[in-house]
């Protein structure tokens, strides 16, 4: 999907909500466990109920890998279901990959070709040649960890190297990489106060912002510092939406949660 198509969808739906499909067998309603593929059944119900309010879905690959072959099958069915039924939706494989070049090329093939995601998250620790293979795929996007939402972000990412914080150096360097216009960046909603500084380095890039809801990040603050003329934000919420209820009408309740967030996003878009 092109960035232009993503922006159009955001304006059409008045939403920049990404729903995280962190689907955990221990958390889904127990009556689903007797189904053939409980993870897919749960995802399908959530997607059908919430797609009006969301522009992106982000399955976190760990939640699928944890169940081995069955989990991979559920993941494949989920991405195929979205691509077939809701082709306007932007899809993110949250895999946090990155390795030496020929290995990264295989990760890229797995998520962009075999599974046909629009984007994949990568960790930048191994540098340029570990990220560039992901950037070889036209109209696919590579979402690089910049400043993450967790406490451990302060262990390395904010340490000063060459007079500035490491995360700033990482973002700056990545701008010189081949096809860097296909890069997006992860910035945690819990780090909203850093967004002003980040926007000075990458005013035009899209940011994936996880950490609202269960981790305590605030939508208004993220928009205040992070929004650009094209919106430039995909704000993710996983647990606070998909596990809003354990009852049989879990999908409706998830949709109601998503609708509230979409309403707040529509207000923010009015100020653009
Ligand atoms: O790359 C991510 O998506 C990510 C980066 C980050 O800094 N923090 C973060 O929470 N995430 C992911 O975003 C999701 C957040 O889930 P909730 O806290 O349940 O909304 C999880 O899938 C995390 O793995």
Burial 114-143 (b: 16+ CB within 10 A, else e): ebebbbbbbbbeeeeebbbbbbbbeebbbb
Q: Does the C-beta of 74 come closer than 6 Å to ligand 1?
A: no
CA distance 258 to 142: 25
More confident residue, 174 or 271: 174
**Residue 190 · residue 210 · CB < 8 Å:** no
**pTM, rounded to two decimals:** 0.98
By percentage, how much of the chain surpasses pLDDT 70? 100
pLDDT digits (tens, 9 = 90+) for 91-110: 999 999 999 999 999 999 99
Instruction: Work out the pLDDT band at 272, boundaries 50, 70, 90.
Output: confident
Write the Ramachandran bin of 163: left for phi over 0, alpha for psi from -120 to 50, otherwise beta.
left
CA distance 87 to 175: 29
Q: Which ipTM score applies to this complex?
A: 0.99
Q: Write the residue with the smallest CA distance to atom 9 of ligand 1.
A: 210
**Residue 198 · residue 174 · CB < 8 Å:** no
Please tell us whether the domain made up of 3-270 is placed in CATH 3.20.20.70.
yes
End-to-end CA distance of the chain: 24
Q: How far is CA 195 from the centre of its chain?
A: 17
Domain residue ranges of the chain, discontinuous segments joined by +: 3-270
229 is catalytic: no
pLDDT digits (tens, 9 = 90+) for 209-256: 999 989 999 999 999 999 999 999 999 999 999 999 999 999 999 999
Q: How far is the CA of 211 from the centre of ligand 1 (A)?
A: 6
């Amino acid at each position: 999907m092109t960035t232009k198509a993503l922006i159009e969808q955001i304006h059409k739906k008045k939403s920049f909500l990404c729903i995280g499909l962190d689907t955990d067998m221990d958390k889904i309603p127990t009556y689903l466990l007797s189904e053939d593929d409980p993870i897919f059944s749960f995802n399908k119900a959530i997607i059908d109920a919430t797609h009006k309010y969301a522009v992106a879905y982000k399955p976190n690959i760990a939640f699928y890998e944890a169940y081995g072959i069955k989990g991979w099958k559920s993941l494949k069915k989920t991405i195929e279901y979205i691509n077939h039924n809701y082709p306007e939706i932007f899809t993110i494989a949250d895999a946090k990959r990155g390795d030496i070049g020929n290995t990264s090329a295989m990760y890229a093939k797995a998520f962009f070709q075999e599974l046909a995601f629009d984007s994949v998250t990568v960790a930048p620790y191994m540098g340029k040649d570990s990220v560039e293979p992901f950037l070889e795929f036209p109209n696919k996007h590579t979402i690089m960890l910049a400043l993450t939402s967790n406490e451990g972000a302060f262990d390395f990412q904010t340490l000063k190297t060459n007079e500035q914080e490491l995360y700033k150096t990482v973002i700056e360097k990545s701008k010189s990489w081949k096809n860097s216009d296909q890069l997006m960046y992860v910035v945690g909603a819990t780090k909203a106060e850093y967004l002003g500084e980040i926007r000075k380095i990458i005013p035009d890039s899209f940011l994936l912002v996880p950490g609202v809801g269960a981790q305590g990040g605030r939508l208004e603050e993220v928009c205040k510092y992070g929004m650009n003329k094209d919106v430039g934000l995909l704000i993710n919420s996983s647990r606070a939406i998909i596990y809003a209820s354990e009852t049989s009408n879990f999908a409706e309740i998830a949709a109601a949660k998503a609708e509230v967030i979409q309403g707040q996003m529509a207000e923010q878009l009015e100020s653009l």
